[in-house]
Structure 1
Amino acid sequence: MSTLTSLKLTNATKPTSIPVIQQKRNKLTTKIWEQIQLAEAQASGGTYASKRFKTITTADGDRKTVELEKRVRPWWFTNEEGKICVAVKYGSKAIHLAKDKTAVELGSKDELVNTLKVLKSAIELGELDQEIEKASGTIRARFTK
């Protein structure tokens, strides 16, 4: 019993569900992580394809899980002035990072990975929660027609 006294004991319970905004943040940080992997792969001259699992039924009627590659489209583009711009997308819509600003302009492609990491940390800290809620609401509204 003396070994337990060296630990800080508490009466804690595991939460049964994650708050909705945290689920949305997690979804967006997963997507931005894929963008970071894609940018790093392109910088090193390689390719990146995310994996996903799909359950299929064979001709015999057996169910089988198959691993497939999922195409990851880059969120960055070159604007009219030749600068690289990065937009953060929730679903297919770019979210506003500031008032009427939907992209980050970069000086060169070398800044891309660091910019994506900064955006990921901002999302994790909850700085874009209002914009995530707006984007989520517009996406959800399209399903209720």
Structure 2
Amino acid sequence: MGQLNKLALRNVHRQVHVDPITSRREKLVRAIHLQKQVLAARLKGETYTVERRKRVRNTEGELVWANTQKPVRAWFFEQDGGWYVQCRYGARVLLVDGKHNAVFVPKLDQELCGILGDTA
């Protein structure tokens, strides 16, 4: 107990300097950039994947870190003779204009690229 008396003890509340609204917007922008890459891969006929580190059991039964490939789920899908694009935040589909939750395009090409931005 004598050692604790020598320390300068205080109560402090850590201040977070990042606005939660700004961080959510940045997360959505990162997801839109990821969807651009998913679209570019789909136009080439490929599946876009990202590398994840995951704990798996090896042959001896020990938990070890391994790199695995995880496919990215596309926000666009084919239905009604065209393609719909829905913006997602986690599992929730966001409303585009306050009433509608999707944008319809007839073909998966330049029109969809224009919605998501340039794929370059």
User: With structure 2 as the length reference, what TM-score do the two structures score?
Assistant: 0.69
Q: Does 1:76 align with 2:107?
A: no
The residue correspondences of 1:97-136 to structure 2 (distance < 5 A) are 97-110=96-109, 111-117=111-117
User: In 2, distance between residues paired with 1:78 and 1:84?
Assistant: 4
Per-residue CA deviations over 1:76-118 (Å, capped at 9, x if unaligned) read 12232x1211000111121001021111111321122221128
User: What does 1:1-145 align with in structure 2 at a 5 Å threshold?
Assistant: 17-56=17-56, 59=60, 64-80=64-80, 82-110=81-109, 111-117=111-117
RMSD: 2.5
- Give the number of the structure whose residues are more often helix, by fraction: 1
- Percent of aligned pairs sharing the same letter: 28
What is the number of residues matched between the two proteins? 102
Q: Which runs of 5+ in 2 are unaligned?
A: 1-15
**Would you tell me which structure has more strand in proportion to its own residues?**
2
Structure number with greater CO (CA < 8 Å, separation at least 6) is: 1
Larger radius of gyration: 2
